[in-house]
Structure 1
């Protein structure tokens, strides 16, 4: 979408708000964040004879929300760019960094039923399967429609999406190829809450366009995979427990069936100014020497940076159809001041499936440190450092790169997210 079309959409929204006598509130927020990163083995093992990378990336987002008695409108536009990616005094910005992040309407039929239509974030539970991916500057959205029901401590969402590149007179082939970019998606989500516990159930059906031809660019049918499972939270005295279990089945492609699973469990306990945590996650994988089915679980549309180490070696645009993962981790969050804390987290990684030649399944150990300081109202600073101690077996799943080079990553992030404007637009209040 061009900049002119996005600006035009904002103008139409603002005009609509000013003339609608039923309008109740208008809210405008800003989200400006800049992040410096030093990458020396981030996301993959660091190769020989290569220089580390360093850069600053920035997101500038404007959120406009409107609420009436039975109607909500929300539009979020953003610019995501790397410092220096546009030449100074360039007449036309050619880096295509400006985009429409969200644009949806929610219609409330009554106190229980509503529908939400348009470009939107879909996020549930711990964001393992569906999440907003706020760590990534661009975030994650879906062009979807959702029917929503909520009454008391029960909520039900039923949603779906159908993706096309452009309007056509003939054919429905979807030529946009990307990492798990779906052609069609349908899901149902149910959540029940109690005083101190919750339980949810998700069924997700996603269809991916198949291709054929010399250049693999001719649409040829759709393969569907299903993901179903549960997420739950409950206390055991002063210990908070949370966990999940999901199963994936269906097709990876027209010739390969899928049978995969995920289970996780984490316990957290607070003592004084320290929060302790101990957890594990198992994501099934496919043997490197081959298997009768694809047994590799992939968490699809979650906030994967949140899981399995902040260095993103697994399931962040990588590790699909691979040997899976066994992740055992421990963490502690120390309160270091009135407005600051320090997170220390350690992961022990192992392959879930067999590596070629029956190599050792131990992949490596990662240490993550994150310091957070609230500098003032609306302004927060994060400083992070991570180090991967990779084993020889890590090379087998990372393209044969050497495992014994230093693999570390450091970053500093500043987040500024003030409320710019809030107004009650009812005529009776004027």
Structure 2
């Protein structure tokens, strides 16, 4: 009798799979890093850092004509971090990276609800932050429209923290001061609209984002929400061997600390590309991010690319806008790149970036330095290998910006890494 039940169950599963699509895949991504000046200047008295960590993901998707569901389980393993034998996760790094359902509403409309990645255009303001092993996600609900050459997203988020462990507070209940007042990413509310229109060889998008942080009164009790509003556009053109992309964003409202008004903040960027041959691609670009030129502490003109994949921009050594450089002198970045195809499965990216402050530092300096980034990529059967090296040639302004005396900093500021990427497909 039990065998009959098992056979019946298997038949039902097979029938269900015949009417739907199920996928199961994963990712195994260890990365080794040598840090001798990554994100900030390393003092001469300090030793370079070296470590290995691994990202593991297991992704499952299920699709029918009526809905899709997707879940991504993730763990980050720092080699040697967990004590042996003791059955604990030392850094509590296991998480559900994505968990969402998308329901068809009829026609070209759908709704997507749950934990998901927001990634638009070149990821300048919204990106999945895939370079970081932990990535970036959002808990929200979206109404989506996908038509012929046109897409529209309307998203809403309202975040809570039932346990007071570092997120937005639960409603207006006073449960302590666990809210991170200096965390621009842990918002209380968010609304966004994204629209993109595509033509032959050209596309244009509009992004409107309003997100707010919980305010507190002198008794550490919730006292409303302050909001920061960002509006921007991304333009992309490609014809033959030539390509051009531009970003333009404006920002206004109240900074995440709740006490600083933002006005006149902006980001402007332009990138040109040219395919010189089948094996060489060239790039040239610049980006201007406004800095704070206000003499008062309650106002700022500094732009914050809050949820973007900032590692992709302004140098791979992450000196700017990757957990740093917030509400400061801004940035003017001029860069040139070349991508060489070394074979059917290998390539080399070389990029040079020159950094200056948008506003003068107290000494009057603006020059921050020049960075060289090199990335070698090689794909094999079923996996890929990436190796990178970056070197920073420091200018006087960088010492002042990072608060490190030139005499106290190492002569060489560099960073190197190697990463293996394996993406097994268990069921497809």
**TM-score, normalized by the shorter chain, greater than 0.5:** yes
Equivalent position SS for 1:85: coil
Partner of 2:51: 55
Aligned to 2:232: 229
**In structure 1, what is the equivalent of residue 172 of structure 2?**
171
Contact 1:75–1:103 under 8 Å retained in 2? yes
The yes-or-no answer on 1:348 pairing with 2:374 is: no
Is 1:287–1:353's contact at 8 Å kept on the other side of the alignment?
yes
Deviation of 1:209 after TM superposition, in Å, equals 1.9
Q: Which residue of 2 aligns with 1:392?
A: 396
Q: What displacement does 1:256 show? A: 2.4
**How big is the shift at 1:289?**
5.5
CA contact (8 A) 1:369 1:385 kept: yes
Instruction: Provide, for residues 362-414 of structure 1, a one-character-per-residue CA deviation record: whole Å limited to 9, x for no partner.
Output: 1000000000000222x000000000111111122213354563210000000
Contact 2:266 2:303 in 1 (8 A): yes
Tell me how many residue pairs correspond in the alignment: 403
* Residue 42 of structure 1 pairs with residue 24 of structure 2: no
Take 1:164 and 1:18, find their aligned partners in 2: how far apart are those partners?
37
Name the CA distance, whole Å, in 1 between partners of 2:57 and 2:179.
26
Larger deviation: 138-147 or 88-97? 88-97
Displacement of 1:21 in angstroms is 3.9
Stretch deviating more after TM superposition (289-298 or 56-65)? 289-298
1:161 equivalent to 2:157? Answer: yes
Matched, 1:127 2:130: no
What is the TM-score normalised by the length of structure 1? 0.89
Q: Does 116-125 or 164-173 show the bigger shift? A: 164-173
Match for residue 417 of structure 2 among 411, 422, 430: 411
The TM-score with structure 2 as length reference comes to: 0.89
CA-based RMSD of the aligned residues comes to 2.2
How many angstroms apart in 2 are the aligned matches of 1:321 and 1:218? 26
What do the CA deviations read for 1:10-69 (whole angstroms, capped 9, x no partner)? Answer: xxxxx9x94994850110011110000000000001113111110001001000000000
Seen in structure 2, the aligned counterparts of structure 1 residues 158 and 47 have a Cα distance that, compared at 3 Å, is same
Higher mean Cα deviation, 244-253 or 85-94?
Answer: 85-94
Q: Structure 1 pair 93/112, CA: closer, same or farther in 2 (3 Å)?
A: same
Tell me if 1:184 matches 2:185.
Answer: no
Shift of residue 421, structure 1, vs aligned partner: 0.9
**In the alignment, which of 356, 365, 369 is matched to residue 364 of structure 1?**
369
In structure 1, stretches of 5+ residues that fail to align are 1-14, 423-430
In the alignment, which of 202, 206, 210 is matched to residue 215 of structure 2? 210
How far off its partner does 1:235 sit?
2.9
1:208 & 1:401 partners in 2: Cα distance?
A: 36
Aligned residue number for residue 106 of structure 1 = 102
Following the alignment from structure 1 to structure 2, what is the Cα–Cα distance between the partners of residues 104 and 414? 28
